[in-house]
Amino acid sequence: VDLHLDLGGGGGGRRAALERALRDAVRSGRLAAGARLPSTRVLAAELGLARGTVSAAYDQLVAEGYLSARGGSGTVVASRSQPAAPAPALVRPAAAPRYDLRPGSPDVTTFPVAAWLRATRRALAAAPASAYDYGDPRGRVELRTALADYLGRTRGVLASPERVVVTSGYVQALGLLATVLGGTFAMEDPCLGLHREVVRRGGAGIAPLPVDRAGARTDLLAGALAGVTAAVLTPAHQFPIGVTLAPARRRAATDWARAGGGLVVEDDYDGEFRYDRQPVGALQGMAPDQVVYAGSASKTLGPGLRLGWLVLPERLVGPVLDAKRHSDLHTGTIDQLALAELVAGHGYDRHLRACRQRYRRRRDRLVGTLAAVTGIAAGLHALVGLPDAVSEARVRDAAAGHGLAVGALGDYWHAAQAGHPGGLVVGFGTPAEGSYPAALDRLGAVLHGVAERGASRRG
C-alpha cells in the first residue's frame, strides 16, 4: 500500500505532523474504512522517521478511534472513523430501458470474446517490447497492413498501409479532418448531432446537405453549396434515413471533388452489413485522391473498443498525422495488435458472416411485424414511417410506458422545422438476441395502440 502524506505545515514536530496528516486523510475519506496502513517499518523508511515515531503516531490514532490495530495483521482504518456517506447526488443516470431499440450500437452481447482473447494472446506473444513504448501516430503497421488488404477485398477501397491512419473511432477521425481542413463541412441533414458538434469543435463550420430518396443531394455541391471544403456522406446506408446513395449522386460527389470543389468524407460505418444482392462498394474506390474513407469497429465488434481508421489521399496523410500526434500521440497499441491478428487470421470475416446472418433475420422480422419500414437494404437500423396524425413524441411516451426506447427522426435534423417527416429510427441490432422478439412485439403493440387511439379520437 502506497500512502501519500504531507507532513509539511503546522507546528509540534514530526510525530504531531504525522498524526495530523493521518487524521486528515481518514476524515476526508481519502483513507477508507478498512484500508490497510503501511507497516511502521515501511512508513518510517519512506518518510525518513524513526520507527518508534511512526508507532507512537499509530498508537495515538488507535486511541482516538481513527485506526484499529489488528494484532499480527497490521493497522487499518477503523470502521466508524468517517462521517456518514453524503446523500446520493440528485442527478442519477437514466435507468437503462428494458427493451432498447435505439440505433447506435450492435448487439454487444455477441462480442467475440474467445476469438478476441486468442487474437490478443497470439499478438502479444509475437509483439516486440517496442509495442509497449510510444509508437507511430499512424498506428501499428500490422493493423494498417491487415486493414488495407481487408478493405480492398471486401469494400473495394484502394488502400496501402502508408495511407491508413488508425484513430480512436470515427468521432476522432472526423474531428481531425475538421481541424486539418477547416472551412465549412456540408453534412447530411439529417445526421448525428454529435458528429456536427465534433466538426464544429474541430474548427469547421457546418452547412446542411439535404437528403432525399436518392440519398444526399450531392448535386447541390457544385451549385448552392459551392465553397464548402468537405462533404461528409454515408453513401452505403444513410444515417438515419437508410437510403443508399444513387449512382448519379455518387458521380456528382466525385465529379465535384475532382473539379477542385473539395473533399468527400465517406463514413462507411455499417458498410459490412449489406442484405440485398447488390453489394455497394466504397465510393473511395471511384476517386481515391478525392475521397477520404472512414471505417470503424463500433458496429462490427463494439463501440467500447474505440477503434476506427481513415484511408487518406496522400497529400492529407502528413497534416492528419500532425493533428493526431497533437491530439493523443497515437491510439492504444494492444487492441490494434489484437484486431490486426483477428483480421489477418480471418476471424473478423467469420464473426461478420455470423453477425450478418443474425441481423438479416432480425431485419426480416422487423419488416414482417411492422408496416412502412424502409432503409432495410443494409445496416443495423431502419426507418419506420408514422401516420400524419401520430407524433414521434406520442409514440416515444407510449413506448416508455412499456419499458421500450426507440429512436426518432426528429433527433437528427440540423434545425427543428415544421414539415420534416416524422418517423422512428429503429436500431434492430441493439438488443440482445433473446430480448429482440419481445422488444419488437412491444413496439408493434405501441404503434397499434397509438394509431387506434388516434382513430377513435378522430371518429
Ligand X SMILES: Cc1ncc(COP(=O)(O)O)c(C=O)c1O
Q: Which of 170, 273, 359, 412 binds ligand X (CB under 6 A)?
A: 170
81 vs 234 by CB, closer to ligand X: 234
192 vs 252 by CB, closer to ligand X: 192
Q: What is the number of helices (H) and of strands (E) in the chain?
A: 13, 15
51 vs 414 by CB, closer to ligand X: 414
Q: How far is the CB of 322 from ligand X (least distance, A)?
A: 21
The Cα 315–Cα 163 span in angstroms is 10
Q: Do the Cβ atoms of 210 and 242 come closer than 8 Å?
A: no
Assign residue 12 a region (left: φ > 0; alpha: ψ between -120 and 50; beta: otherwise).
left
Cα distances from 348 to residues 170, 306, 366, in angstroms, run 19, 16, 26
Q: Which of 239, 256, 309, 348 binds ligand X (CB under 6 A)?
A: 239
**What is the DSSP-derived secondary structure letter of residue 93?**
P
Q: How far is the CB of 210 from ligand X (least distance, A)?
A: 17
Q: How far is the CB of 234 from ligand X (least distance, A)?
A: 6
Can you read off the three cell numbers belonging to residue 408? 426518432
- Maximum separation of any 2 CA atoms in the chain, in Å: 91
Q: Which of 267, 272, 335, 341 binds ligand X (CB under 6 A)?
A: 267
Site for ligand X in 365-424 (CB under 6 A): none
Q: Helix crossing, 347-369 with 333-344: angle to 10°? A: 80
Comparing C-alpha atoms, which of 217, 240, 268, 288 is closest to residue 427?
A: 240
Can you read off the three cell numbers belonging to residue 451? 394509431
179 vs 234 by CB, closer to ligand X: 234
Q: How far is the CB of 447 from ligand X (least distance, A)?
A: 24
CB atoms inside a 10 Å sphere around CB 422: 17
CB atoms inside a 10 Å sphere around CB 394: 16
Q: How far is the CB of 305 from ligand X (least distance, A)?
A: 9
Q: How far is the CB of 135 from ligand X (least distance, A)?
A: 20
Comparing C-alpha atoms, which of 161, 195, 193, 340 is closest to residue 265?
A: 195
DSSP string, 132-183: GS---TT--HHHHHHHHHHHHHHH-----GGGEEEESHHHHHHHHHHHHH-S
Count CA within 13 A, CB hemisphere, residue 258: 10
Q: How far is the CB of 148 from ligand X (least distance, A)?
A: 19
**What is the DSSP-derived secondary structure letter of residue 297?**
S
Q: How far is the CB of 262 from ligand X (least distance, A)?
A: 20
Q: Considering only 75-83, 166-174, 357-365, 406-414, which stretch makes contact with ligand X by CB under 6 A?
A: 166-174
Q: Does 169 bind ligand X (CB under 6 A)?
A: yes
40 vs 234 by CB, closer to ligand X: 234
Number of residues that bind ligand X (CB under 6 A): 14
Burial of 459 (0-12, 13-18, 19+ CB in 10 A): exposed
The Cα 22–Cα 56 span in angstroms is 13
31 vs 192 by CB, closer to ligand X: 192
Site for ligand X in 86-105 (CB under 6 A): 104
Q: Does 175 bind ligand X (CB under 6 A)?
A: no
> How far is Cα of residue 27 from the mean position of the Cα atoms in its chain?
39
Q: Which of 22, 171, 426, 447 binds ligand X (CB under 6 A)?
A: 171
116 vs 269 by CB, closer to ligand X: 269
Q: How far is the CB of 194 from ligand X (least distance, A)?
A: 8
Site for ligand X in 282-341 (CB under 6 A): 296, 298-299, 303, 308
Q: Which of 116, 150, 269, 293 binds ligand X (CB under 6 A)?
A: 269
User: Strands, DSSP E only, in 199-314?
Assistant: 205-212, 215-216, 230-233, 263-267, 291-296, 308-311
Q: Does 112 bind ligand X (CB under 6 A)?
A: no
Q: Which of 40, 179, 229, 234 binds ligand X (CB under 6 A)?
A: 234
201 vs 453 by CB, closer to ligand X: 201
Site for ligand X in 181-220 (CB under 6 A): 192
240 vs 288 by CB, closer to ligand X: 240
304 vs 421 by CB, closer to ligand X: 304
Q: Considering only 33-41, 163-171, 177-185, 242-250, which stretch makes contact with ligand X by CB under 6 A?
A: 163-171
Peptide bond into 137 cis (omega under 30): no
194 vs 329 by CB, closer to ligand X: 194
Residues that bind ligand X (CB under 6 A): 104, 169-171, 192, 234, 239, 267, 269, 296, 298-299, 303, 308
